Each structure stands twice: as C-alpha cells, then as structure tokens.
Amino acid sequence: MKDANIKRIVIAGGGTAGWMMAAALSKVLGAKGAGGAGIEVTLVESEAIGTVGVGEATIPAIMKFNAQLGIDEHEFMRATQATYKLGIEFRDWGAIGESYFHPFGRIGFDLEGIDFHQFWARLKHLGDSNGLDAYSLNTRAAYASKFVRPEPAHGQVINQMGYAFHFDASLYAAFLRRFAEGHGAHRIEGRIEHVEQDGETGLVRALKLDRDRTIEGDLFIDCTGFRGLLIGQAMGADYHDWSHWLPCNRAVAIACERAGDPVPYTRSTAREAGWQWRIPLQHRTGNGYVYCDDFLTPEKAEAVLLDNLDGAPVSNPNHLRFQTGHRAQFWAGNCVAIGLSSGFLEPLESTSIHLIQMGIAKLIALFPGTRDAPVERAEYNRLMEDDFRHVRDFLILHYKATSRKDAPFWDQVRMMEIPDTLTQKIELLRSRGRFFKYDAELFDLTSWLAVAEGQGWGPQGHSPAADRLSESNVRQSLANMRSVYAKTIDAMPSHQAYLDKYCKAAGETLRADAA
C-alpha cells in the first residue's frame, strides 16, 4: 500500500453519525464531482441493519454544525419534526419531590465585573428565597412554554438565551443524506462482510461487501455503532470501561402520541434504577428509561416506562444494551471511529450528537495528508479523550450529588468514589462558587451551577469581591433583573405559535417505529 495522499474516504455505516460525517466531509473538503478538491466520499450502509435512532435531544453546539453546512434552521426543523429546546428539567434527582432546571442560556447579569452568581449566593445566605430560576430567561420561558429565536436586534436580554433542538434522529439522518448526496457523496447499499487490511502495515485497505463487492479507500470512518467493526474488531482498539462511575448499561425506548402542545425542554425523571427521558417533537413524544440491570430487569423497566407515558404508544419498545466508556484509540491506523463505535456516554445531558460533532470537527482540522499520519492521529486521540473525560465528570456529578436513599442503585452512586478531576471542581464550587473551565471543556459555569445547586451541592459561601456593593444596592439590582425577565417573557410568543409560524412540519411525515 503506497503512502499517497488521501483521495478516497469510505464511511462504514449510516445513521446520524455516518450522515453527519458524509455531509461535513462533502461540504468542507469538497467531494469528487462536486467541484471540490477531488476527494471521493463513499458511505456504505445496509437497510437490513437497524440504527439506534434514539438521539433526539441536542445541545446548542448543534447550531454551529448546521451553520457550517449552510443549513437553513427552519427548513431543517420542518424536515425533522423538530421543536426547540431551552434546557432540561430534572425531577427527583436530588430528593424525591424536588425538581430543578438546567438552562442553556446565561443566568443573570454580572455587576461591577463580578459574576452574577456571587451576588445571588450572598443574598441567599442572607435569607433571600429567590432561586437561580428567577434569573434565567431560559428557565422562565421554558416553564411558560414561550420561545423566540434570539436575533441581534432583540437586545441584551433576549440574547442571553441559548437553545438547541429536539428532532427525529432518523429524519435528521435522511435530511443529511440528501444534503451529502447533493454535494457529491456516494451511497452504496450493502452489508460489510470483511475488513481487508494491508499485510505489512495493518492499515485498512478495503471493505468486502456482500455479493462479492470490494470498496477500496485511503481513510476509513467507522460508524458501525456499538459493534465497532473496524476500530475494534479489525484494528483491535481496546475499550476503557467507565461503568464503575456511570453504571447504567441498558435502555428501553418508545414513542407515544403527542399530548398537547410540545414544551420547549427535555425532561429527565429519576427512577428506581436510573432515569426516564421525555422529548417532545411536533408529531410525537420520545420516551425512554435508562437503567442499570444490576438493579432492574428489562421487563420491569419496560413496564415502568409504559406506565409513565403521556399518550398511547406509537412504536414497539426498543431495548438497547451499552457500556459507558470510550475506545483507547479513537483513531487507529487509517481508521477513525465516530459515534457509538468510538464510545458512549449515556444521554443524560444530550451529548451523544455533540461528541459526533466534535469528532468530525477535529478530524477536519487535523485532516491527514497521507494514510499513516502519526502526529495528527496522536493529537486527535488526546483531544477526543479530553472531550469524553470532561463530559464524563459532569454526568457523574448528577449521580454523586443525590440525597436519595430509597433504592440500592442510588445508594451505590451516592457513595461511590469519583475522579480527582471532579472532586476538585466540586470543592471549588461548593466553597465559594468558584469555577474554572479547563481547555475546551463543554459545560460552563451556568451548567455546573444549575446542577450543583439543584441537587443541594451549591455554593456555601461567596467571593469577598461580592461585598463591594452594599446589600441594598445588590437587592435592588437583582429585583430589577427579575422584573426585566418577567416583562420579556410576557412579550414573547408561545413556543407552539413560533413553530406554527416558522417551522411547522408538513403533514404526518413521521416514521412511527422511530423511537
């Protein structure tokens, strides 16, 4: 195998990961036949092999991916039955009966160059009963079921909002397929029977398909899901198991009829041995129970989920098995794993699609000149491991910070040892509300503060810098903020009205079996 320039990229597997990769490569690098740089992008998938298809909730970073492709937001939403997402409501995570909201936008306004939450913490410990929600436009809009897309002309308050989407993952993959093929990507229907490797270098040379077909390539992208057909089975990349920190290892998903207008947020409700998601789309509601099978059987999990649906089921239960963690190598030889083949962190904070996006962005930034690219490969693996580790620590916080003592599962996660990186972050935040974002860490102060405070692990003190202003001045400033937020919410259209005006999907284009 000659070490020539990369001219042929072969993506093994479709679904969300495969078609996100195909869309990005064909657009950014220029697919052969599309007036680009002459790089040929080929995606191999089999309709006989199903996709997981449950990643329906996203975080704000997805907007950057769509924008880089030049995708019109409203067109994308109509095509995917999408709704807006302002954050996540967590029920029963700290203690049964309690709830809190993790918003995507900023909380409050800084005063005199000092973080807002330091003044809020100061008043809290003086007896003020206003929680963080009172100063979050996202939270207040979510619970009022209001939405308007921030625009430059809207001013400082509206532009505090951040948002993401709920969408049908199968429809998103189909949308991106049309986009990718329109930019020169080529799809081949077929089942991969064997991965052919060079006898000397070990690099992947070709994919052997059914009906005695061979697809040769220079760079291979493994989007074969949990199987890891290329990265694991062929390239032998080991798996780093994180289930001792994130023990949930199964899920059951099902779609049900839409019950009323969709709200602009995801809901996560803690259950006996894990948690249940609720994701409202335009045409249906996605539901699932993520759990640990050491404490719950699949049959019981399915029964609990069915008992807690808002409407009649419109699909069959889809049972999934997974192991939290990641590949020891995300990029091995000339094979890059994207999506579930690279690793999996449970969908508690809707990060699965984001990690796909990060893998794609880093591959494009480090795109190799030749098949064997040790320098680029090493940096890619380092960066992706950092991404996974940062998300891992934030997810662990949700479990560790519980006060629940009603079930063995919650006893286990409450008492578990946690990574040193997380311990340091928690101690800084709990003492005086200090927070530092490491490297390109995904979740910022708002996220950590919302979860920690929501589960009873919020700041126990405040920075001395927040004492610069008088108490009366601080109280008045925060009262003014609450008033401004209330008036802004009153003036916003309802979420449903905004969807009807700009993003309403045409007809019943759903696939009822897509859970």
CATH of the domain at 375: 3.50.50.60
Q: Is residue 98 in a domain?
A: no
Q: What is the C-alpha to C-alpha distance for residues 301 and 322, in angstroms, rounded to an integer?
A: 15
Question: Are residues 277 and 308 both part of a single domain?
Answer: yes
Q: How far is CA 166 from CA 49, 180, 278, in A?
A: 24, 22, 10
Q: Is residue 374 in a domain?
A: yes
**Closest listed residue to residue 216, CA positions, set 492, 9, 491, 436:** 9
**Closest listed residue to residue 189, CA positions, set 176, 177, 204:** 177
Q: Is residue 507 in a domain?
A: no
* Torsion region of 508: left, alpha or beta (phi above 0 gives left; psi -120 to 50 gives alpha): beta
Q: Are strands 335-337 and 331-332 parallel, antiparallel or unpaired?
A: antiparallel
Residue 511 has pLDDT above 80, yes or no: no
Q: Is residue 263 in a domain?
A: yes
Structure tokens at 489: 């919410």
Looking at 283, 300, 321, which one is the last position of a domain? 321
Question: Are residues 181 and 276 both part of a single domain?
Answer: no
Please state the rounded mean pLDDT for residues 265-278. Answer: 98
Q: What is the C-alpha to C-alpha distance for residues 4 and 209, in angstroms, rounded to an integer?
A: 24
Question: Are residues 132 and 23 both part of a single domain?
Answer: no
Question: Are residues 417 and 486 both part of a single domain?
Answer: yes
397 vs 5, more confident: 397
Q: Are strands 186-189 and 40-45 parallel, antiparallel or unpaired?
A: parallel
Instruction: Tell me what pLDDT residue 1 has.
Output: 45
> Active-site residue 437, yes or no?
no
Mean pLDDT of the chain: 94
Question: Are residues 472 and 358 both part of a single domain?
Answer: no
Instruction: Tell me what pLDDT residue 409 has.
Output: 98
**Closest listed residue to residue 274, CA positions, set 240, 324, 226, 342:** 324
Looking at 390, 413, 446, which one is the last position of a domain? 390
Orientation of helix 352-365 relative to helix 15-24, angle to 10°: 30
Contacts of 173 (CB under 8 A, 6+ apart): 14, 15, 16, 18, 19, 51
Please name every residue paired with 221 in a beta bridge, in sequence order, or none if there are none: 11, 336
Question: Are residues 271 and 151 both part of a single domain?
Answer: no
Looking at 321, 342, 376, which one is the last position of a domain? 321
**Closest listed residue to residue 231, CA positions, set 329, 358, 324:** 329
Q: Active site residue: 27, 32, 85, 146, which one?
A: 85
Question: Are residues 317 and 184 both part of a single domain?
Answer: no
Structure tokens at 43: 């995606």
Question: Are residues 226 and 173 both part of a single domain?
Answer: yes
Instruction: Tell me what pLDDT residue 31 has.
Output: 59
Q: Which residue has the tokens 């000149």?
A: 369
**pTM summary value:** 0.95
Please state the rounded mean pLDDT for residues 44-65. Answer: 82
Q: 371 lies in which domain range?
A: 8-56+168-243+326-390
Q: Is residue 130 in a domain?
A: yes
| 454 membership: H or E segment, kind and range | helix 445-454
Structure tokens at 72: 């019109």
Residue 154 has pLDDT above 90, yes or no: no
Question: Are residues 337 and 379 both part of a single domain?
Answer: yes
Q: Is residue 64 in a domain?
A: no
pLDDT band for 32, please (50, 70, 90 cuts): low
Instruction: Tell me what pLDDT residue 436 has.
Output: 92
Question: Are residues 337 and 471 both part of a single domain?
Answer: no
Question: Are residues 235 and 339 both part of a single domain?
Answer: yes
Asked if 470 and 131 touch (Cβ cutoff 8 Å), the reply is no
Domain count for the chain, please give it.
3
Question: Are residues 445 and 492 both part of a single domain?
Answer: yes
Q: Is residue 87 in a domain?
A: no
Q: Is residue 198 in a domain?
A: yes
Structure tokens at 106: 């900023």
Instruction: Tell me what pLDDT residue 332 has.
Output: 98
Residue 47 has pLDDT above 60, yes or no: yes
410 vs 515, more confident: 410
